[in-house]
Amino acid sequence: MNDMPQARAAAAFQAAFGHAPSLQVQAPGRVNLIGEHTDYNDGLVLPCAIDYRTVIVARPREDRLVRVAAADYDGAIDEYALDAPIERLEAPMWANYVRGVMRDLVERGLPVQGMDLAIAGDVPQGAGLSSSASLSVAVCRLFATLPGFEGLGPVDMALVAQRAENDFVGTKCGNMDQISSACGVQDHALKIDCRSLEVQPVPIPGNAAIMIFNSHVARGLVDSAYNTRREQCEAAARHFGLRALRDLDLATLAARAAELDPVVLRRARHVVTENARVEAAAKALAAGDLTRMGELMEASHASMRDDFEITVPAIDQLVGIVKSVVKTAGGVRMTGGGFGGCVVALVPHALVDAARDAVQQHYTAPNGSKATTYVCRAAAGAGVITA
Ligand code: GLA
């Protein structure tokens, strides 16, 4: 575990406020093994929390003031009082994740009190590894340490964080990232039913490493493309008179395909087949069957490329390079919202170096960058740091 963020947060706290913090919490980022763009369709996902995280150190205040120092933004400070409504800022964006969560907690009638906070993280930003969800979940987890918050469980924290992102920050994300960060279990993936909010830990086979390759492809237009996909999915569900695409089966979709606009048909087909792949992947992972997992990840990537149309050529190339090393011994696919970001692979430990070397040798992003490779471990969810 990398303890750098903790040290940086503590140093920023001391520098900003001139005394030491009394509380320390962390919340991890996540990588999604399979189940993409299914969460907002009430569907199934199979992510895991990762050992890259946001750390917040803090000390409660006697008054109603909140002061937030951002170690990763040159110690910039956001300051406001809890007596007036908490407003959204035009900038900086990081401040809105803290403000949004605090406003939601206040609106729920919880006894939010004045606080000095300092934040630092090592989740790569803008890479599709949910650095923002880890920040908003960490803020929730911080307040959950206080008296009066005992009823706020991990799933509740995830929902507060999601609402802050949806309604305050203005990102129309689903609930996968926040649930992963709040509910992670060490060395396990989480099969999450994004409708019932049931979270089922699935052990990651001991012989498999989780590799993440950051393509460094800038995720341009990602918000508008994400929102368009959501609207297309909702249109398909509406057409069949269903609450969400979760409720559509492949036989019905195939039989009535001609009724749909061809693009909407492809979007719906991705979601319906992806939900089925998550069911199968959870079983394969639990059985330690990396070959089957690899087939499902390959099919997921093809579906994202051809039906959901959210991959880009550099990402397809990166997936191909890793696949040429891993072959049938594991799996690889794009992970996250799409249009760039990261590729995730489940790789037998013996092939980790070969996969890293192949990417180093054969991949270059359109902007000339090489990929960054992370070998990570499935981590526990948000919690208090006791050390
Ligand atoms: C982003 C969103 C998630 C999810 C994924 C796609 O990460 O924040 O809610 O929709 O995209 O699976």
Quick check: 285 pLDDT over 60? Answer: yes
Q: Are residues 182 and 319 in the same domain?
A: no
> For the stretch 231-245, what's the b/e string if a residue is b when 16 or more beta carbons lie within 10 angstroms of its beta carbon?
ebbbebbebeeeebb
Q: What is the pLDDT of residues 42-89, one digit of tens each?
A: 999 999 999 999 999 999 999 999 999 999 999 899 999 999 999 999
3-state secondary structure of 267: helix
Which residue in the block uniquely carries the two structure tokens 């993440």? 212
Compute the distance from residue 161 Cα to the ligand 1 centre, in Å.
14
From the CA atom positions of the chain, what is the Rg in Å? 21
Q: Are residues 253 and 199 in the same domain?
A: no
Q: What is the pLDDT of residues 145-178, one digit of tens each?
A: 999 999 999 999 999 999 999 999 999 999 999 9
- What's the confidence (pLDDT) of residue 2? 44
Compute the distance from residue 130 Cα to the ligand 1 centre, in Å.
9
Confidence of residue 3 (pLDDT cuts 50, 70, 90): low
What's 323's domain CATH number? 3.30.70.890
Give dist(CA 30, CA 47) in Å, integer: 7
Total domain count, the chain: 2
Quick check: 387 pLDDT over 80? Answer: no
Give the percent of the chain with pLDDT over 70: 99
Are 175 and 32 in contact by the 8 Å Cβ rule? The answer is: no
Mutate which of 173, 195, 212, 334 for ligand 1? The one with the most ligand atoms within 8 Å of its CB, which is: 173
Active-site position among 51, 104, 177, 307: 177
Confidence of residue 224 (pLDDT cuts 50, 70, 90): confident
| Pocket, ligand 1, Cβ cutoff 6 A | 36-37, 39-40, 173-174, 176-177, 336-337
> For the stretch 48-76, what's the b/e string if a residue is b when 16 or more beta carbons lie within 10 angstroms of its beta carbon?
bbbbbbbbbbbbeeeeeebbbbbbbbeee
Give dist(CA 202, CA 24) in Å, integer: 28
Q: Are residues 98 and 194 in the same domain?
A: yes
Nearest ligand 1 atom, CA 133: 8
Q: Are residues 277 and 240 in the same domain?
A: yes
Q: What is the pLDDT of residues 12-45, one digit of tens each?
A: 999 999 999 999 999 999 999 999 999 999 999 9
Least confident of 16-30, 218-232, 273-287, 357-371: 218-232
Residue range 335-359: mean pLDDT, rounded: 97
Residue 177 is among the residues annotated as catalytic for this protein: yes
Compute the distance from residue 80 Cα to the ligand 1 centre, in Å.
31
Give the domain range for residue 53.
4-203+379-384
Q: Are residues 192 and 260 in the same domain?
A: no
Quick check: 267 pLDDT over 70? Answer: yes
Whether the full predicted model's pTM is greater than 0.85, yes or no, is yes
Whole-number Cα distances in Å, 275 to 24, 71, 238, 246, 310: 37, 39, 18, 8, 17
Assigned token pair, 277: 């792949």
- What's the confidence (pLDDT) of residue 126? 87
Residue type at position 318: L
Q: Are residues 315 and 286 in the same domain?
A: yes
What's 173's domain CATH number? 3.30.230.10
- What's the confidence (pLDDT) of residue 174? 97
User: Which residues make beta-bridge pairs with 14?
Assistant: none
DSSP state of 322: H
Q: What is the pLDDT of residues 104-124, one digit of tens each?
A: 999 999 999 999 999 999 999
Quick check: 1 pLDDT over 80? Answer: no
- What's the confidence (pLDDT) of residue 375? 97
